[in-house]
Structure 1
Amino acid sequence: MLAWRRHGPVVYRLRALFAMVMTLLATCVLALVSLSALSLYPGAGAIRPGASEQPVRATVKECHRVGPLSGYGMGYWWICQAAVRHDVGPERQVELGRSIVGPDDVGQVVELRAVCRGGGETDCYYGRPMAFILVLGYAIIEMVLKALVIGLLFAVGVYLLKAVLGAPAYVAIFDRRRRAGGVDDGMRSVKHYLNVVRQQMVVDGCAVTDEYVGSMPAVVGYRAQRWAGTRMHVFAVAAQADRVDEERLRAFSDAVVNLALTRTGDSRGVQTVLVLPILITESADAAATSLTRTAYRLHLAGVAVLAQLAVADVRARKVWAFRGTRSRGHAHHSLIAEKYVIYLPEPAAR
């Protein structure tokens, strides 16, 4: 969040994308180096569940070389065709890679070890006889390298989420996941949900105060930021109500707009004011929720002051807010949507 506030959304996202690309490159390099290192091990590999090493005899027929990049990593590797005979069963034609045999072995019978899964001889790994301590070391190194690659891939996904969502929405999503164990206290009542909204305003970097807006006690969140090339004054004002109807929602919105106009004064002619009135309730009528689904108010020719309503009904477990697009003020619509994603988690039972 500190980087988001310090650098702004554009630079933050570009930095996250750069970190994602560099981490992805590091993952590819590590995967290639790991594959090359593991391919140097001439044994049959770690003992897998349900499998054990067994001696086999391989008659090497012909070999060819692959590289400098192949399924075995970097470098040049011999792949040889061989006829392998187990203690029981018919002779099998297999391909032996990783240079465990080479051209010097063509026409000769080589003693190898096989690790076969499922108790049969159709899914086997072949290699040279190795001491148990080397087999154990190989297994440990293999697990560590795989864990490192998986960890880096996870980091790539995190950076991608940060670049796409931005820091506030990213934090809000993982905060919801943290509360996923049961019914969260912040979702069970109007008062508790209002506290959740207050916390999300703080996460977004707002200065938060408790004030009376009109005749209603409210939580007022304010922050200034740059968006679409202009300086934005964002006012998010949340209050609780026993019941929300259209008249009360309109009156509350007017009071919030007046608060924003008073606070910004003459600066609104050259800057943009975004006003987000939020009412939290246990009962909202259809006319009020319908009002939230329209592009509600645009002041001063739709450029300087934008207002967009929202209602959070904790009993219905639903947030009502505008999800469409504006014919005017369209450049700032994505900011409105982002703010409501941050401030208003769905009040659903977990």
Structure 2
Amino acid sequence: MDRPPALPRYGPAYGPKVVAATASCTAAIARLDARISVSPVASAWHRRAAWSGYAKALQLQSVEIEEIDVFSWGCGLQVPGRALRATNLDAFDRFDDWHAALLDKDPLAWRDALPTAIGEPEIATEHPALIRALDQVRQHARIDGTTLPWLSLPFALRDKGLSATPLPCLAGGAKALRLKRTPDDADWLAVLRSLEASATDGLKRLQALERNYRDAQRAIVAEYRPGALPALIALLCHRPLLSPQAAAGCLGISVAGASKLLERAVAAGLLAEITQRRTWRLFLPPDLATEFGFVAPKRGRPAKEPPPLPQSRALAEVFDAFDQEMAEIDRVLNGRGTARL
């Protein structure tokens, strides 16, 4: 009698490398989730992380695009020297709906939109939550050939209890999850290590953004007349790529005034100019300018952060005003129904 065809194996074989990678990746996600839950710049980080996650999803679809291209699209600016975006195909057609779903408080909204063919066998309960989340993405990718399965990973991690909210920088996966009926242990290991790297990079960027936030507070306090500088820095947190024209339009000031504000931010170490010209200048925070290759990294030990400013009622009022500027920028961005300004 012919035997029935063997069912595909669920999950990896759990060799020592896979077990260690699973534990390490789970810990990296937990560290990021714990830190973002108490961060004062969580909303600004979330917007940047959404651009990073969407870039990974496009790359898994073999779209020739880099992270800086998605950042420039999100900020509505074209970086000189970068290839122009294709006009016959909209690679960002899913971004607004995905970003809105990330901000949705209903945990069932995204899950209800998944294909009904996605499910879990009984044996799945014997596997780690991380493997179960990745297998959900694998099943989705076998059904849907678009970016949607890669964009669903942050929701799968949230649904399995690995994070309190969807963390958009964790979007991704591996082409093997779509192309192979049964991914081997090397494929699972590659996915786990890639996801851990995304979580680690997300935490590093959050730490850099928090330091920029503290440096901004010091810069505002050091100014005799800060003027529109707090509003510019608040805008910079949410929209890291800026030009004088874009800053002028967002802040309601002249282009000349915006240029002077940007130069003050550069002098305070809060911005780095990434163009070598006097017209259509572009600026990025130093950490992103270095990461994207526009500024050479500094050698030697990182500079020690100055001590916290002493507590006083006057400083508390300054910091509260700055936080209000941040909240207003966030409200304007989310009020327009998109992550672009």
Q: Report if TM-score (shorter chain) is over 0.5.
A: no
- Please classify the TM superposition score into its range, dividing by the shorter chain length: under 0.3
Higher strand proportion: 1
Structure with higher RCO (Cα < 8 A, 6+ apart): 2
TM-score by length of 2: 0.22
